[in-house]
Structure 1
């Protein structure tokens, strides 16, 4: 300790510009301890001020920031104290350009992910952006501004789609009706085509609110209004819909070829066959077992415990729904997978529920085998980003083969297969067979037409020759007749053995001579490399391979619409519904 000298007044000044003073004991200065002048807290002092600075920043922020004096650096140089922006991380207000980009990004986010515009009023989102931008003064744009940007984004994306449709030679569309939670009816329409670079495009055209009754005349007018609005009436080749009577009647009033939804057809056949088969009683007991767990959280928890003990995933059972495709197969498959866990759980519970016996489990196993090919076909034909129209006939042929009864099948399986084959055959009569046959022939994977009877294959190629003959631009321009000696000279020097070599028959013969490709290969990629070798057939390939086999694209559009028109947003205007649904579909398609 040093004795206090009254002449030395600065001896009491401690570190950090006098915010701390040395401790005085018995008239002497103790330089091993300092006291905070702001709160009188005592600290040990050993020439290091780190703990003292921490105390000021934690307890006395105002005093720490108010200090404007100059500190000596460890190197002896004079350094300025950090500014307020440096201490807080504040880099200044966001520029107008960056704020504008943030507004556009918010509009893009709301449109792409189906977020409500009211999200810009969330204080939590504003706080996150303030931290990300290092600008505590940043404010989210108002709803009106974001709505305006969404409109601008919609107009821009729509302009791009219109340009694509203008360049397209042929366009196929699909359509269906949907009812929102507010009981408003909408017509969804999607477009599908192959561009000049052999890329398949699929996107929404509209989801239009309908106020008239679903009479055939009204439905036909609604479809015509959509094609006229997009200026594709003369380009539409096929229109895919379900097989509802109103839709079928409406298609007869349109000039477009009708393409009934194959997936709807297969699923309808499954529903009819299951309602009158040997699986009815077994499925009813399965639904009771699933309901026993679905309606009781405690039962579900006990099932999960048994699944854990057996080393299985804790997955719930699935209840089938008549209108949900493949739901019966999903219910059966999940039950079979968790058979041991279900048995163990029910054995520990006191209930009157009767468990399935060995024969019924065997029925479920056979039913899973029967329905699995149907699921594969519906999933295969329901795609919109790959060629599906040409796969219809081979897929149906595959189903027919799998439903052939064998000697090992029990009576109830034979009955189901016979009913399935009969019902599917009757529904196939309503298909557009000629269009599907041509599409199959123009697909290099299936051009051998093994899915058709031998007697029908020649007729398909004859119809393709006629289509080539009908193509515009085949007529030669008028010219004066050449002298006979010139014509004979040309014939003499020609290597052609037939006058039809460059005509429709020659074009078809050259294409048939090409080797078939694997079913895993892409037919569009094949055509992109063989277009010059087969220019006449390539035009037909764009037309016939671009049509979807189902109306599933509309079903996906309605799933998207259901995410937008929720209970909290049931008051959305029809214009906003169309804008948001289409825009979200376009942005996802572009990704």
Structure 2
């Protein structure tokens, strides 16, 4: 006790935050203390309770160890708020919002559920909330919130699909790092407000073999689960034999992926063309730098001296679209840096000759339109089916032989056009042709030979006679006025009176719009003038030209099913992948 009294006399009460008052004669009055922070005087009788209350009330943030016992305190028991030394605490509603936001973040950005156990994240939230007592919700709670979020978002998607008249699907298979097989499906349609929707339906683990009947059954089970069996128009897949055989067993139209067809043509032509030896040397040069960090560092130094960006060379991969173009483009861009670096090193590489560098330049020119067409057809935020024929026509036009082409270029172009035309025979030509005609950008059908254009309009006329007008939305007053203005000089007052021929004639008389304009916006303003054709337009324009949406779905799944998360259950994989796609769709609107 004497030692504690001596220490208190030396430091002052409450860890030295108070000092004893000095009398005028210089002696110490141990019955009075003075706060060192505000110089307020207090009576002191060996009890520090009132002093600690003063610090908590007037000097927020000062650490005070409050320990009250019935024998040493005559005051009421302090609240938890006073004990922490902070005036603000995270309320229950705010804590709920933080937990929901945490679940939203995990789903949107594909974060692992284990982040709720990170001390660093808890420290950040404590600082942000000014509450050092805040604790993150446990993994079980956050898992429930993710499930609730998935259920709510799925309900929204079901409501959208319920209102849709026609739905197109794309599907494919994917193998994860744990060697598990997953089957993914995406849905695409245009709603009554002429907005294009494209989102994931499911990515399910499959243990059966890829037989045609199994694949067909997978598509049917997904359609039944989402209650869209009667609404499906087309199913887009790659051109694998199993997929083609599976589509024969289904009643839906098959849309082979145009991008896959194009890339197969490029692969075959590169293997059989005069660029084979040159590309083989390019791969060895790129590998020389890719497999040696010191070689790459020397290349970066030369790039800096030439005032170029320090960028690595790119190695092409046979299964990665346009990777050969990326390889030769990067190599040509850094041609001088590569030459100088290799000249200073000891190696057994065979350097490219001037003629071979020229060949690479010509090959880059040949492959650039292919990349443009692939990216154009693989879009999800715009109508892609209506640009299939114009894009392929543009590509064929660029591959026409000119007089100044060397022999190896003539050979490549000839093989390309021949192989592509043979592969196009396997495509579903009827659907893209109708979609092109119903798109106001290319409805003149100049991408088709003159003799084939009439057949497209004849098929649309037949569709108008078959398709009921049940899907036409009730016209509002404003579209009705627009339609009356458009029909001011018409001999017929209604489309029903003039019949399919008159409806097509009025639509074909409409001027085409620019290639940069949105066809959906055009139909949004002209739907009242062409009600029956608008039903067909919504059906045919909503079909994607490729199965790229599924490929993107698998790329996202690869960010979730990693080596450290390879044991995720199939249900959690499906939940996290779909949620991420759905939430990102909301942010992109």
Helix, strand or coil at the partner of 1:502: helix
Alignment of 1:549-560 (within 5 A): 549-560=545-556
Q: Shift in Å at residue 21 of structure 1? A: 8.1
Structure-to-structure mapping, 1:98-109, within 5 angstroms? 98-109=94-105
Q: Return 92-101 or 319-328, whichever deviates more.
A: 92-101
**Contact 1:91–1:135 (8 Å) recurs in 2:** no
Q: Give distance in 1, aligned partners of 2:493 and 2:152.
A: 55
**Equivalent position of 2:159 in the other structure:** 163
* 8 Å contact kept, 2:172–2:185: yes
Partner of 1:523: 519
> Which residue does the alignment assign to 2:135?
139
Mark the structure with the bigger radius of gyration: 1
- 2:308 corresponds to: 312
CA distance in 1 between partners of 2:230 and 2:372 (Å) = 35
Tell me how far 1:212 sits from its aligned partner: 1.0
Residues 89 and 134, structure 1, Cα contact 8 Å, conserved in 2: no
Corresponding residue to 2:360 among 353, 360, 364: 364
Matched, 1:205 2:201: yes
Question: Counterpart in 1 of 2:125?
Answer: 129
List gaps (5 residues or longer) in structure 1: 1-14, 23-27, 30-36, 38-51, 55-63, 72-79, 475-493
Q: Give the stretch that moved more between structures: 347-356 or 383-392.
A: 347-356
Please give the per-residue CA displacement for 1:215-250, whole angstroms capped at 9, x wherever unaligned: 111110110000011010110000000000000000
Unaligned runs of 5+ in 2: 1-15, 31-35, 39-47, 65-83, 471-489
1:91-490 aligned within 5 A: 91-473=87-469
Cα pair distance change 1:499/1:580, threshold 3 Å: closer
Q: Is the 8 A contact 2:469 2:532 kept in 1?
A: no
Which moved further from structure 2: 351-360 or 313-322? 351-360
Residues 499 and 231 (structure 1), Cα distance of their counterparts in 2 relative to 1, 3 Å cut: closer
> What is residue 584 of structure 1 aligned with on the other side?
580
Q: CA deviation at 1:355?
A: 1.6
Contact 1:204 1:582 (C-alpha < 8 Å) held by counterparts: yes
| Higher deviation after alignment, 124-133 or 82-91 | 82-91
Structure 2 counterpart of 1:75: none
Which of 510, 513, 526 is residue 509 of structure 2 equivalent to? 513
RMSD of aligned residue pairs (Cα, Å): 2.8
1:39-76 superposed Cα distances (whole Å, 9 cap, x missing partner): xxxxxxxxxxxxx979xxxxxxxxx99956989xxxxx
Give the distance between the partners of 2:260 and 2:284, measured in 1 at CA.
Answer: 27
Give the Cα–Cα distance (whole angstroms) in 1 for the partners of residues 355 and 431 of structure 2. 45
Superposition deviation, residue 347 in structure 1: 1.0
When residues 295 and 95 of structure 1 are mapped into structure 2, their CA distance, relative to the original with a 3 A threshold, is same
Aligned pair in 2 of structure 1 residues 89, 453: CA closer, same or farther (>3 Å)? farther
What TM-score results when the alignment is normalised by the length of structure 2? 0.84
Asked whether the 8 Å contact 1:239–1:258 carries over to 2, the reply is yes
Paired residue total = 521
